[in-house]
Structure 1
Amino acid sequence: MYGKAPSLPQAAKDNLELFDRFLRACDTITTTILARLSDLFNLIPGSRFEDKHHPGGKSRSTLTLFRYPKQETQDNKVGHNKHTDIGTLTLLFSEQWGLQVLSPETSEWNFVAPMQDHAVVNVGDSLRFLSGNALKSCVHRVAPPNVSGRQEEHRYSIAYFLRAEDVVQYKDSKGRVISARDWHDEKYGVFRLSHDESNSDRILTGGMEKGEEFIVS
């Protein structure tokens, strides 16, 4: 399946078995988490969270390698703007500092300490909507972990984004009934805007906050 994608770099094509094993492991971990959450919510078959993520279903689930290059000079465009993740769950692997989350208690940005052999699990917009807002999307960003505000070394992270099947529907932050595919495409379009433009659109943070103040409790 992956070998037919012409955009894959040669390093990926040469290691398809490794990538396939890793993707399957990530999928198993995330769907297991969804199953346990479904149990806690007493959901019945057909409405369980994992039922929205059938292995054979078409979705926007993806594995991404992020690289934040070292900076030689000061630049305020470093890192990744504040946002919530589009999909259901995110597994984030990184051994370097830089990830920050917005605290709903203090409205302050706090660094998440990296831990070797551990992954950070983020709740995304789709799980928030599927849970009727009981589970909240994680508002986060990436910023240099030093007083200079400059990226002083190359920073790498790997993220597996589990996303609901394209045809799954839910009520979004604007009260619209929308498909997972349409939510993905609309929000991805905001990511392509300039920093200032995307920052002014609340879809970037899933309607969770405004001016770094939480508006969803």
Structure 2
Amino acid sequence: MLNVAKDDVMAWPKQVYQDYPQPATDKMDDILKPFVQKTVEVNHVLLDALSVKLGLPKDALSRRHRLDARSTCGVRCIKTPPEPEGWSEEKALFAAHSDYGSITFLHNRLGGMQVLAPGTNQWQYVKPLPGHAILNVGDSLNLLSGGLLRSNLHRVVPPPGQQFSHERWTVGYFMRPENDVPLNALVDESPLIAEAVAKTPERNFHTGETAREWSIRRFNNIRATNYKGKENWKASGGTENYKAVREAVDAGAGARVSVNA
């Protein structure tokens, strides 16, 4: 797995955070930078459309995710080898998680991603389609929208059928709010969001943290080594404490959380 921070990509050849191996540095200008720019452009179209639907000013979400502003956004490339010995349900549960960013933009040709549909304990495969990307709404958008946008619980298991014997490659972009953005429901900018928050007093949409502070806390709390059971998982903080997700964990849908969020 290779992770490259968006800020390092856009500042190249200057270094913002860290060094990277040669395969990444050799492709910063002709592959990684155009990939980041185009992905952010597409995501802004989506964010603008969502803003309108949420009763927000059109740019309310996209201006909190600017390309040139510091954030914890990043590119990830994952190579997953075949699973010749198969997999167990318990093993798959280790990877159940909700993403803590805003939008996860994924490209892959093989199946393997599964989502937990609301109100069920049954995992369902997400089928990759040619010419399409897979998008996940993350916990940050869930918070900003006052819960109107759902961050789904998902996991990755070996591909089904004949795909099982092939390597699985995934390239993704994890879009997260700018570091200084307060991670709270935008109740002052949308009557719809204000109404949604008022109707769910049991849920906390005011984190009191910036996006960077919240992301760091989430990252530290979801390290795989920290998890020994469902109670630890539910105690990790963030929107994974919401009732629907907690009930899914109680039902056995996700006893552990992986670090790949």
Question: Do they fold alike, i.e. is TM over 0.5?
Answer: yes
Which residue of the partner structure matches residue 73 of structure 2?
61
Helix, strand or coil at the partner of 1:165: coil
In the alignment, does 2:24 pair up with 1:12?
yes
> Which structure features the higher share of strand residues?
1
Tell me if the contact between 1:84 and 1:204 (Cα under 8 Å) persists in the aligned partners: no
Which residue of the partner structure matches residue 55 of structure 2?
42
2:103 to 71, 86, 89: 89
Instruction: Output one character per residue of 1:45-104: Cα deviation in whole Å (capped at 9) or x when no partner.
Output: 78x111211222110010101122223435654686111111111111110010000000
Helix, strand or coil at the partner of 2:170: strand
**Aligned counterparts of 1:204 and 1:180: Cα–Cα separation in 2:** 12
% identical equivalent positions: 27
Helix, strand or coil at the partner of 1:159: strand
**Aligned counterparts of 2:92 and 2:149: Cα–Cα separation in 1:** 30
In the alignment, does 2:251 pair up with 1:212?
no
* Cα distance change of structure 1 residues 128 and 177 upon mapping to structure 2, 3 Å threshold: same
Query: What is the RMSD computed on CA atoms of the aligned residues?
Result: 3.0
* Cα distance change of structure 1 residues 126 and 97 upon mapping to structure 2, 3 Å threshold: same
TM-score, normalised to structure 2, is 0.71
Instruction: Output one character per residue of 1:111-154: Cα deviation in whole Å (capped at 9) or x when no partner.
Output: 0011122101111111110001111102110012448xxx6332
Q: After superposing the two structures, state which structure 1 stretch, 73-82 or 4-13, moved more.
A: 73-82
**Aligned counterparts of 1:30 and 1:104: Cα–Cα separation in 2:** 24
In the alignment, does 2:192 pair up with 1:182?
no
Tell me if the contact between 1:198 and 1:204 (Cα under 8 Å) persists in the aligned partners: no
* Cα distance change of structure 1 residues 191 and 155 upon mapping to structure 2, 3 Å threshold: farther
Tell me if the contact between 1:79 and 1:142 (Cα under 8 Å) persists in the aligned partners: no
Q: 1:62 is aligned with what amino acid?
A: G
Aligned-residue offset at 1:23 = 0.7
Tell me if the contact between 2:99 and 2:137 (Cα under 8 Å) persists in the aligned partners: yes
> Which structure features the higher share of helix residues?
2
In the alignment, does 2:120 pair up with 1:106?
yes
5+ residue gaps, structure 1, are none
In the alignment, does 2:233 pair up with 1:201?
yes
- May I ask how many residue pairs the two structures share in their alignment? 213
* Cα distance change of structure 1 residues 98 and 79 upon mapping to structure 2, 3 Å threshold: farther
Which residue of the partner structure matches residue 159 of structure 1?
172
* Cα distance change of structure 1 residues 178 and 9 upon mapping to structure 2, 3 Å threshold: same
**Aligned counterparts of 1:206 and 1:59: Cα–Cα separation in 2:** 22
Helix, strand or coil at the partner of 1:92: strand
Tell me if the contact between 1:137 and 1:206 (Cα under 8 Å) persists in the aligned partners: no
Helix, strand or coil at the partner of 2:85: coil
5+ residue gaps, structure 2, are 1-10, 186-202, 251-261
**Aligned counterparts of 1:145 and 1:90: Cα–Cα separation in 2:** 20
Equivalent positions of 1:97-176 (< 5 A) are: 97-146=111-160, 152-171=165-184, 174=204, 176=207
Aligned-residue offset at 1:14 = 1.8
Tell me if the contact between 2:103 and 2:175 (Cα under 8 Å) persists in the aligned partners: yes
